[in-house]
Amino acid sequence: MEGTGGKPTAVVAVVTEPRFTQQYRQYLEKQKLLDRQHRVKKLRDGTVALPVLREALLEQHLRELRNRVAPGSTCVLTQLLDPVPSKKVQSYSPAQRLCLEVSRWVEGRGVTWSAELEADLPRSWQRHGDLLLLSEDCFQAKQWRHLEPELWETVASALGVQRLAKRGRVSPDSTRTPAVRMLLGDHGWVEHVDNGIRYKFDVTQCMFSFGNITEKLRVASLPCAGEVLVDLYAGIGYFTLPFLVHAEAAFVHACEWNPHAVVALRNNLELNGVADRCQIHFGDNRKLKLSNVADRVNLGLIPSSEEGWPIACRLLKQDAGGILHIHQNVESFPGKTLQPPGSSEMEEHWPSPQQIISNQLKNGATSDSRRKTLSVATKPEWQRWAKAAETRIATLLHQVHGKLWKTQILHIQPVKSYAPHVDHIVLDLECRPCPLVG
């Protein structure tokens, strides 16, 4: 097993002469005391150390070894500081090693190991350096409560970490605070590195999605040199930092209303050497006092960023326009009719074809080019949502700026499967003001 920081954990072993090794092994196996996870080791003085289960070993076992099993043998205890895992254990997955270690420890506490307890062990987790974040659907059986807090030390040792935390359900508040509690360790601050960018945050206060890595890599490759960008839902800097560090945006306005995320964001900007090219706007972005500044606006909020669309339209430069990166969870249920964005609440805003220039010919794209830009979306539900969002944005741009704008779908990017039949996607929408005629 591995201990804290991934270092081997010392194990207890019974030491005797080589000629008594077989008798010792047979006795220890019969008494269920032999540690099968580690190899027998020959020591420098020629004696042999047999790893044992320290929780179950009693003084009477040592007396029996000396006096009955192998009379005249040397029988002493030692600690192996660098135990060698058995060949069988070396082939185990982390989940199998966890099961082996926890079951052994539980039985050593006099608790019967059961299929119920085994099924209640985690099968996956998030690792953040020396902290492991467990999912909410593990360690739920009542029996575990009587084994805390030592249980968490055993779990951490088995998985090679120093700290443990367990995820709960995300709070339904506006800041989406994660319901995470520490099981082992005195704080939840961790550091994660993605694509050469350092992110530090408190797992008990801020969320971090590994599933967004493809989108972070994509925005890092966008040609943003010289551009001003507004990130309406910045969090700890998930997209703000790739835009600054790799895409080389000239400046980013980062909006965030979770105070814990703002602390992490400010720290991460400093860590990555880009604090001088970013201004943090703390609070509700609906009250943001910015307009006519952005070449791009990132709307990285799911399940929907629609509430931020009017703000994004106001932020785009009036004379040149720009690009919106709109995140959305889109359902793909067969036979279900997709409702246009805003249709339930703002039906009166939907334009007639004569009011808004947003169709595929008038927006400057030929039917062939439009078909090409949409071809990346393999699901028709994505395309229907994107077209509906495009029309809605065209309406908003007209309302906000008092003139007609051209819109064009540049790209539809799948990010991850959010849930069964629900996909997290990003729409890249180009928005340009129409030139005045006459």
Is the predicted pLDDT of residue 80 greater than 70, yes or no? Answer: yes
Q: What pTM, to 2 d.p., does this model score?
A: 0.70
**What does the pLDDT read at residue 360?**
34
* C-alpha dihedral, 305 to 342 to 395 to 433, nearest 10°: 10
Rounded distance, CA 89 to CA 83, Å? 12
Greater confidence (278 vs 96) lies with 278
Percent helix, strand and coil across the chain, each to the nearest 5: 35, 25, 40
For 394, the token pair is 């065209």
Is the predicted pLDDT of residue 334 greater than 80, yes or no? Answer: no
Is the predicted pLDDT of residue 359 greater than 50, yes or no? Answer: no
For 37, the token pair is 């996870």
Alpha-carbon separation of residue 338 from 34, 40, 105, 168, 330 (angstroms): 62, 65, 53, 31, 9
Rg over CA atoms, the chain: 30
DSSP, residue by residue, 37-92 = TB--EE-TTS-EEEEB-TTT--HHHHHHIIIIISTT---EEEEESSPPBPHHHHT-
Bridge-based pairing state of the strands 322-331 and 197-202:
unpaired
Nearest to 65 by CA among 104, 17, 113: 17
Instruction: Kindly list the structural domains of the chain, giving each domain's residue range(s) and its CATH number in brackets, ordered by start.
Output: 11-80 (3.30.70.2580), 94-186 (3.30.300.110), 208-333+378-433 (3.40.50.150)
Strand order in the sheet with 180-184: 125-128, 131-134, 163-167, 180-184
**Top mean-pLDDT range of 2-16, 154-168, 322-336:** 154-168
3-state SS, 360-393, equals: CCCCCCCHHHHHHHHCCCCCHHHHHHHHHHHHHH
Least confident of 231-245, 269-283, 368-382, 392-406: 368-382
Greater confidence (250 vs 37) lies with 250
